[in-house]
Structure 1
Amino acid sequence: MLVGYARTSTLDQEAGLEAQLRELKTLGCEKVFQEQASSVGPRKVLEQALEFTREGDTLIVTKLDRLARSVPHMWEIIRTLQTKGVGIRIVNMGIDTSTPTGKLMLNVLGGVAEFEREMMLERQCEGIAKAKAGGKYKGRKPTARAKADQIKVLHAEGVSLSEIARRLEIGKASVHRVLKPERA
């Protein structure tokens, strides 16, 4: 059985998820698991997909980064599938682990992908450090503190904390923080 797995990191990536689902369906996946979850957080649907697969099945993903967060994680998934007699196919790389060449290519390309990610993070850190040194990087602007006067006026008018947060488009915890000195 061909089993598909599709993932995007955020709800904003709906088009990306739809594209993955279309491709998996075109490839003939009989069962498709999908989720919108960060690669660093828990991915319960991926766990369900891995548990669902049986000997002789092939798990198909459109891209490697949709499946694994690192080379060790990728190999952990592959070992789990191999012990069950399940293959894995990564469409955009043309890799199929049911072949020795596919296994080799997956290892090489996974290493390159991890190296690329580490280099990108290193460049990002360097860029932030340079911007901070130049006084151009100050982090996210504090939205709630900028609206502190509005928060206090609405609170004095008897508006509930939840309603204040909704009206000002900030978190309820932020409203609490602004009002905390008044309440003490």
Structure 2
Amino acid sequence: MLVGYARTSTLDQKAGLEGQEQELRAAGCDRLFIEQVSSVDMVARERLAEALSFVREDDTLVVTKLDRLARSVAHLLEILDTLTDRGAALRILNMGIDTSTPTGKLMLTVLGGVAEFEREIMLERQREGIAKAKAAGKYKGRKATARAKAEEVLKLHREGVGGTEIAKRLEIGRASVYRILNSETAEKA
């Protein structure tokens, strides 16, 4: 059985998720596991765990791209071990790799290492660029969205609205609400 796994990092990548789903169906996947969660956050990828639990001997887990599956070479090898222990294989459509063959396993490991190296170089360049921009006084960071709503947070709190409800109404994080409330309390002390 071909088992498909699709993932995007954010909810606003709907087209990317739909494209992956179409590719997986076109590849003949009988069952799909789909989720929208970042690969780098420490958030558990529940649908990936379900897919890995679902595969049986002679099944193949199919993904459209390597970066949709693993966050690092170590993570990739962990997934491969899980699949191998179950007697299953991995197929990556855009690379034409199928780990049911020794050559496929070798190619995947090599390409996974290159992909991880590439990502590390990109992150390093990004950090360097930010440092240069900060030194030149051009880097401001992202706009503080919660701080801009501080007055509204305080007003709702004075009206007796709880932190969780304030966060929902203003569409900001609960932690931001409490940070604003705590800084207000500290300023008064």
How does the TM-score come out when normalised to structure 1? 0.86
In the alignment, what sits opposite 1:21? 21
Partner amino acid, structure 1, of 2:8: T
Partner amino acid, structure 1, of 2:88: V
Larger Rg: 1
- SS of the residue corresponding to residue 103 of structure 2 reads helix
In the alignment, what sits opposite 1:54? 56
Name the % identity. 68
Residues 1:82 and 2:84 aligned together: yes
Residues 1:108 and 2:110 aligned together: yes
| TM-superposition CA deviations, 1:43-62 (whole Å, max 9, x none) | 11111111111111111111
Partner amino acid, structure 1, of 2:51: A
Aligned residues between the structures = 183
Residues 1:44 and 2:77 aligned together: no
Deviation at 1:68, TM superposition (A): 0.7
- Please, which moves more after superposition, 132-141 or 14-23? 132-141
Deviation at 1:169, TM superposition (A): 4.8
- SS of the residue corresponding to residue 59 of structure 1 reads strand
- After superposition, residues 28-177 of structure 1 pair within 5 angstroms as 28-40=28-40, 41-149=43-151, 151-152=153-154, 158=159, 160=161, 169-171=171-173, 173-177=175-179
Partner amino acid, structure 2, of 1:43: R
CA spacing shift, 1:175–1:87, aligned 2, 3 Å? closer
Deviation at 1:139, TM superposition (A): 2.2
Deviation at 1:176, TM superposition (A): 4.3
Q: Distance in 2 between matches of 1:68 and 1:90?
A: 12
Gaps of 5+ in 1: none
How does the TM-score come out when normalised to structure 2? 0.84
Deviation at 1:148, TM superposition (A): 3.8
Partner amino acid, structure 1, of 2:33: F
CA spacing shift, 1:133–1:153, aligned 2, 3 Å? same
Instruction: Say what the alpha-carbon RMSD is for the aligned residues.
Output: 2.4
Deviation at 1:100, TM superposition (A): 1.8
